């Protein structure tokens, strides 16, 4: 907790405030007046405290790496005997027996694999990967070699044995966990810009203070030495008093130059937006991520679960009306399809925690078939229970099909069902007999191949179905029945993980805002490209230069990769380290990168990006490594977060315009007053009200401005841009100079022949000074636009409250402040005159904005 709190002091403006507080404290002990110092320290504690509270509160919602139970028992072969040991005791060289449903406890090389399928979604995003020890069947495009299995992945089908080659932190998931918790040193764009601002304020404040100190000390010492002989200790006391007097004046200049309200404004703006973004399904863990989203130039997005629904679904079934249907009833084909899917399967459906939703247990492809059947109102379990299984061949990577022989509860006959790779199933079939005539298998195969090619080009998985009605006197062995090659082809289905409905529009929204999108996935190049095409990312103009595999990317030198990273749109077969390297290379090119992901494999990239966006249904490791969690798993929420971030940055700029105008005026009043030899017309307590309370209120007011969709028409700002733009600079200096001229005119008007001002006149000056800033707050609210200051005011509840608070506070201070604030009550007429004349600031601003609206309409 204390480390998290101390991090808040890394804010560049807070550092400048700390220096000002030290100088102010020195003067406070000399003058025995601690109000200004207390005000600065209070501003520091408030800004750091708010930031700490909101981040600590968000961090409590997460728990790192809580999913793995190291006490789980695994079966190993040691000294020729099978033993069960805790997962934590597995060592390199152990032989581990792998069974369906078990989590693999270490990285290893397969010694034996029978129909072995592994869920690698934790590392690659792929739910089903076939594993084998047969080199001839190795998938050359696979993210990890076909004979290697990784810790944290799960066996979904088959069984085998592996030899452990890596354990603990040396495993792939161990590297991921370590990289996901590394401290990223990449500064946020806002911090970069605030550092520049703090340096500028520090240089200006200290330069003016030192120059003023040297000029006045030199002048007074010259006159003192010219008029007095340096003799005795009292002379040195007089010189010390001269030096101390101008040292105090220099410190006052520094304190006035430093905007105490700025870090508080930034913190309040971030904290308020952090809470308000929660309503748009963006749970923000790290406050600066609110604003950094507005600066991002590239989004590296995962595919599975982010762009797609992470739920395999039957897309387009093609079953055929067979000749037998005319003999055995019109629903014969339908009965065959329903029973074939129900009994020729090892998957199950169960109720999920969500009301009315079903989820599957088993192979995702088989689950998709059962869910499709359920959507048709057919109970797979009832059909399965009515049928008696005689013999079964489970799916294997070698056979590429599954077969089940049953006493059918649907047709009352003995039926063999087979499903698998369409080309394999079709090769086992005799001529296809349709209800409207006979077609040779040769001619029909061409039609099926064309259909399959269409599906595969759309990055869909395909399954073929066939059946055979078996006579009672025939062999009851599935292998023999299938080998006869006289099955009846029943049809094909295409299965896909469909894209989320809102993704194409969200991608287009981000692209129109000047943000590049890159898909980084563990899936095949074909599937990744098809998904990119469906969401509008991949176009006819794109070439091979715009996509790459993880293996090919790893082979590129940093120089070659740097030259190509901006052009890349797709990285397929990507490993966790590939994604992280892509992020870091993009950052080297000056990009501000956001990464989205839901799996453990995404955690290193989520951690090292300027903004990591995890999915609400993602793993705990991914959430811990991220800055923002998208509670609705929607890519559309990313566009919303960008809009909030850009709007927030503009609000911070508006506050800087408002704040620095006050500081510009106050600094020059002190400076000119010092040259004129007059006392500061504002007391320390009055300045405390202006610099602290009013700044806090202004921060609340400007932070409460609702986000605007218009900001999505802008291009991302450059991270090295200075936060004070030319229009801001002209506004601060222009408006500040006008205010200064008016206020100095008041001083001259109120100053009597003896060079003094009455308390009544000083009260009018103080009130007029505050009211100028009050009306300027309305102008600052719409700075950078041509909108009226009153537009959307009813939606800015913070602004309405601040208006009342400032007016009420100023009235109370003037009417009841007395000696503490050096004020005396003003009559009604005086209040009306001050408010009416100072309001010209707003009305002149309104006229200028009206003229601009008419010109640029």
Q: What is the pLDDT of residue 68?
A: 41
Task: Report how far residue 539's alpha carbon sits from residue 537's, in angstroms, rounded to the nearest whole number.
Answer: 6
CB atoms within 10 A of CB 689: 21
Domain 313-496 classification at class level: alpha beta
Percent of the chain residues topping a pLDDT of 70:
85
Task: Report how far residue 127's alpha carbon sits from residue 740's, in angstroms, rounded to the nearest whole number.
Answer: 68
Q: If you ran DSSP here, which 8-state letter would residue 303 be given?
A: S
Q: What is the pLDDT of residue 404?
A: 92
Q: Which of 500-514, 700-714, 766-780, 829-843 has the lowest mean pLDDT?
A: 700-714
Residue entry with tokens 């800015």: 796
Question: What's the CATH code, domain 297-307+501-641?
Answer: 3.40.50.1000
Average pLDDT over residues 45-71: 56
Q: What is the pLDDT of residue 62?
A: 38
Q: What is the pLDDT of residue 620?
A: 66
Kindly tell me if the per-residue pLDDT of 439 is higher than 60.
Answer: no
Kindly tell me if the per-residue pLDDT of 441 is higher than 80.
Answer: no
Q: What is the pLDDT of residue 334?
A: 79
Residue entry with tokens 């929607």: 634
Average pLDDT over residues 185-192: 71
**Among the listed residues 465, 364, 480, the one whose alpha carbon sits nearest the alpha carbon of residue 424:** 465
Helix, strand or coil, per DSSP, at residue 831? helix
Task: Report how far residue 58's alpha carbon sits from residue 631's, in angstroms, rounded to the nearest whole number.
Answer: 14
Higher-scoring residue by pLDDT: 310, 739: 739
- Residue by residue, DSSP assigns 500-556 as PTTHHHHHHHHHHTT-EEEEE-SS-HHHHHHHHHHTT-S-TT--GGGEEEHHHHHHS
Q: Are 35 and 684 contacting, i.e. CB atoms less than 8 angstroms apart?
A: yes
Provide the sign of the torsion angle of the four alpha carbons 233, 234, 237, 242, taken in this order. Answer: negative
Helix (H) or strand (E) holding 155: strand 154-166
Q: What is the pLDDT of residue 594?
A: 93
Helix (H) or strand (E) holding 809: helix 797-816
Q: Which of 356-360, 388-392, 441-445, 540-544 has the lowest mean pLDDT?
A: 441-445
Q: What is the pLDDT of residue 827?
A: 93
Virtual torsion, Cα 204, 210, 212, 217, nearest 10 deg: 180
Average pLDDT over residues 162-185: 76
> Burial code of 150-184, b = ≥16 C-beta within 10 A, e = fewer?
bbbbbbbbbebbbebebbeeebbbbbbbebbeeee
Question: Going by DSSP bridges, is the β-strand pair 81-86/107-119 parallel, antiparallel, or unpaired?
Answer: unpaired
**Among the listed residues 716, 299, 709, 315, the one whose alpha carbon sits nearest the alpha carbon of residue 503:** 299
**Among the listed residues 301, 295, 270, the one whose alpha carbon sits nearest the alpha carbon of residue 58:** 270
Q: Which of 36-45, 621-630, 660-669 has the lowest mean pLDDT?
A: 36-45
Task: Report how far residue 211's alpha carbon sits from residue 206's, in angstroms, rounded to the nearest whole number.
Answer: 8
Average pLDDT over residues 158-172: 89
Q: Which of 23-32, 153-162, 535-544, 574-583 has the lowest mean pLDDT?
A: 23-32
**Domain residue spans of the chain:** 95-174, 297-307+501-641, 313-496
Kindly tell me if the per-residue pLDDT of 627 is higher than 80.
Answer: yes
Task: Report how far residue 107's alpha carbon sits from residue 151's, in angstroms, rounded to the nearest whole number.
Answer: 5
Structure token pair of residue 177: 């966990």
- Mean pLDDT: which of 139-143, 355-359, 395-399 is highest? 139-143
**pLDDT bracket for residue 352 (50, 70, 90):** low
Q: What is the pLDDT of residue 329?
A: 43
Q: Are 549 and 519 contacting, i.e. CB atoms less than 8 angstroms apart?
A: no
Q: H/E/C letters for each residue in 41-101?
A: HHHHHHHHHHHHHHHHHHHCCCCCCCCCCCCCEEEEEECCEEEEEEHHHCCCCCEEEECCC
Length of the chain measured in residues: 857
**Among the listed residues 99, 101, 73, 76, the one whose alpha carbon sits nearest the alpha carbon of residue 88:** 73
Percent of the chain residues topping a pLDDT of 90:
19
Kindly tell me if the per-residue pLDDT of 66 is higher than 50.
Answer: no
Average pLDDT over residues 407-422: 87
**pLDDT bracket for residue 59 (50, 70, 90):** low
Average pLDDT over residues 446-467: 81
Average pLDDT over residues 351-364: 66
The CA-atom distances, in angstroms, between 161 and each of 117, 211, 222, 778 are: 13, 79, 94, 72
Higher-scoring residue by pLDDT: 206, 676: 206
pLDDT digits (tens, 9 = 90+) for 362-409: 778 888 899 888 888 888 888 888 888 888 888 776 778 899 999 888
What residues are labeled active site? Answer: 302
Half-sphere exposure for 357 (CA within 13 Å, toward CB): 7
Task: Report how far residue 701's alpha carbon sits from residue 79's, in angstroms, rounded to the nearest whole number.
Answer: 74
Q: H/E/C letters for each residue in 564-591?
A: HCCCCCEEECCCHHHHHHHHHHHHHCCC
* Burial of 856 (C-beta count, 10 Å sphere; 0-12/13-18/19+): exposed
Half-sphere exposure for 812 (CA within 13 Å, toward CB): 7
Q: What is the pLDDT of residue 50?
A: 67
Q: What is the pLDDT of residue 63?
A: 38
Helix, strand or coil, per DSSP, at residue 113? strand
Q: What is the pLDDT of residue 406?
A: 92
**pLDDT bracket for residue 327 (50, 70, 90):** very low
Fold designation for 95-174 = 2.70.150
**Among the listed residues 316, 340, 336, the one whose alpha carbon sits nearest the alpha carbon of residue 325:** 336
Residues 6+ away with beta carbon under 8 Å from 293: 594, 611, 628, 638, 641, 642, 644, 645
Average pLDDT over residues 481-502: 86
Mean pLDDT over each residue of the chain, to the nearest integer:
81
**pLDDT bracket for residue 833 (50, 70, 90):** very high
**pLDDT bracket for residue 593 (50, 70, 90):** very high
Task: Please name every residue paired with 410 in a beta bridge, in sequence order, or none if there are none.
Answer: none
pTM: 0.69
The CA-atom distances, in angstroms, between 825 and each of 313, 369, 688, 803, 821 are: 76, 82, 20, 21, 11
Kindly tell me if the per-residue pLDDT of 124 is higher than 60.
Answer: yes
**pLDDT bracket for residue 92 (50, 70, 90):** very high
pLDDT digits (tens, 9 = 90+) for 682-734: 776 676 677 656 666 777 787 778 788 888 888 888 777 788 889 999 999 99
Average pLDDT over residues 406-414: 83
């Amino acid at each position: 907790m204390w480390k998290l709190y101390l991090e808040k002091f890394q804010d560049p403006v807070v550092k400048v405030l700390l220096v000002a507080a030290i100088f102010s404290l020195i003067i406070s002990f000399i003058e025995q007046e601690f109000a200004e110092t207390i005000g600065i320290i209070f501003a520091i504690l408030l800004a750091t405290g708010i930031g700490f509270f909101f981040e600590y509160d968000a961090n409590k919602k997460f728990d790192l790496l809580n999913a793995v139970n190291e006490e789980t028992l695994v079966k190993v072969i040691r000294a020729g005997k099978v033993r069960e040991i805790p997962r934590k005791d597995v060592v390199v060289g152990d032989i581990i027996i792998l069974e369906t449903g078990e989590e693999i406890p270490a990285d290893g090389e397969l010694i034996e694999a029978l129909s072995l399928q592994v869920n690698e979604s934790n590392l690659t995003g792929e739910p089903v990967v076939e594993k084998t020890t047969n080199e001839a069947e190795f998938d050359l495009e696979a993210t990890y070699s076909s004979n290697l299995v990784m810790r944290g992945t799960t066996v979904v089908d088959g069984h085998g044995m592996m030899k452990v080659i890596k354990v603990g932190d040396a495993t792939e998931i161990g590297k991921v966990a370590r990289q996901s918790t590394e401290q990223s040193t990449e500064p946020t764009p806002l911090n970069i810009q605030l550092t520049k601002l703090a340096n500028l304020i520090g240089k200006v404040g200290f330069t003016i203070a030192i120059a003023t100190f040297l000029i006045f000390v030199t002048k007074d010492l010259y006159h003192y030495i010219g008029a007095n002989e340096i003799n005795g200790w009292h002379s040195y006391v007089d010189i010390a008093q001269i030096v101390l007097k101008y040292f105090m004046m220099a410190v006052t200049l520094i304190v006035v130059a430093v905007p105490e309200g700025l870090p508080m404004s930034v913190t309040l703006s971030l904290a308020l937006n952090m809470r308000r973004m929660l309503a748009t399904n963006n749970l923000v863990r790290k406050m600066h991520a609110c604003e950094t989203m507005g600066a991002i130039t590239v989004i590296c997005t995962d595919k599975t679960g982010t762009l797609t629904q992470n739920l395999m679904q039957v897309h387009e079934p093609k079953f055929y009306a067979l000749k037998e249907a005319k003999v055995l009833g019109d629903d014969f084909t339908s009965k065959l399809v329903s029973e074939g899917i129900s009994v020729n399967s090892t998957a199950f459906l169960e109720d999920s925690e969500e009301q009315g939703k079903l989820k599957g247990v088993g192979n995702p492809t088989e689950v998709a078939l059962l869910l499709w059947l359920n959507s048709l109102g057919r109970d797979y379990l009832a059909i399965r229970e009515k049928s008696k299984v005689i013999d079964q061949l489970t799916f294997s990577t070698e056979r590429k099909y599954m077969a089940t022989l049953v006493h059918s509860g649907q047709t009352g006959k003995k039926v063999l069902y087979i499903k698998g790779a369409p080309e394999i199933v079709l090769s086992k079939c005799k001529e296809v007999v349709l209800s409207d005539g006979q077609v040779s298998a040769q001619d029909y195969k061409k039609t099926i191949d064309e259909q399959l090619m269409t599906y595969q080009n759309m990055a869909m998985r395909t399954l073929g179905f066939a059946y055979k009605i078996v006579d009672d006197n025939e062999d009851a062995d599935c292998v023999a029945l299938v080998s006869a090659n006289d099955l009846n082809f029943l049809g094909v289905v295409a299965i896909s993980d469909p894209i989320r409905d809102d993704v194409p529009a969200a991608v287009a929204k981000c692209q129109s805002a000047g943000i590049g999108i890159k898909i980084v996935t563990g899936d095949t190049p074909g599937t990744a490209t098809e998904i990119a095409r469906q969401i509008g990312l991949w176009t006819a103009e794109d070439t091979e230069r715009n996509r790459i595999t993880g293996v090919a990317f790893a082979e590129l030198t940093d120089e070659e990769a740097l030259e190509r990273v901006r052009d890349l749109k797709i990285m397929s077969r990507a490993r966790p380290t590939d994604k992280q390297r892509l992020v870091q290379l993009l950052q080297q090119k000056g990009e501000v990168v956001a990464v989205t992901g839901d799996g453990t494999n995404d955690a290193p990239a989520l951690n090292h990006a300027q903004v990591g966006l995890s999915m609400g249904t993602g793993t705990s490791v991914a959430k811990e490594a991220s800055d923002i969690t998208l509670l609705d798993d929607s890519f559309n929420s990313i566009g919303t977060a960008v809009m909030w971030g850009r709007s927030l940055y503009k609000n911070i700029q508006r506050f800087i315009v408002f704040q620095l105008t006050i500081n510009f005026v106050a600094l020059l009043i002190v400076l000119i007053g010092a040259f004129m030899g007059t006392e500061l017309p504002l007391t320390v307590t009055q300045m405390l009200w202006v610099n602290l309370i009013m700044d806090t209120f202004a921060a609340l007011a400007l932070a409460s401005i609702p986000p605007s969709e218009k900001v999505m028409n802008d291009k991302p700002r450059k991270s090295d841009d200075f936060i004070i733009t030319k229009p801001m600079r002209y506004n601060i200096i222009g408006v500040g100079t006008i205010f200064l001229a008016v206020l100095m005119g008041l001083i001259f008007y109120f100053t009597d022949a003896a060079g003094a001002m009455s308390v009544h006149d000083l009260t009018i000056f103080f009130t007029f000074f505050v009211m100028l800033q009050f009306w300027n707050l309305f102008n600052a609210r719409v700075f950078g636009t041509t909108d009226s200051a009153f537009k959307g005011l009813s939606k800015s509840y913070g602004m309405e409250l601040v208006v009342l608070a400032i007016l009420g506070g100023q009235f109370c201070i003037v009417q009841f402040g007395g000696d503490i604030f050096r004020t005396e009550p003003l009559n009604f007429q005086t209040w009306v005159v001050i408010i009416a004349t100072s309001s010209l600031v707003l009305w002149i601003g309104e006229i200028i904005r009206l003229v601009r609206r008419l010109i640029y309409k």
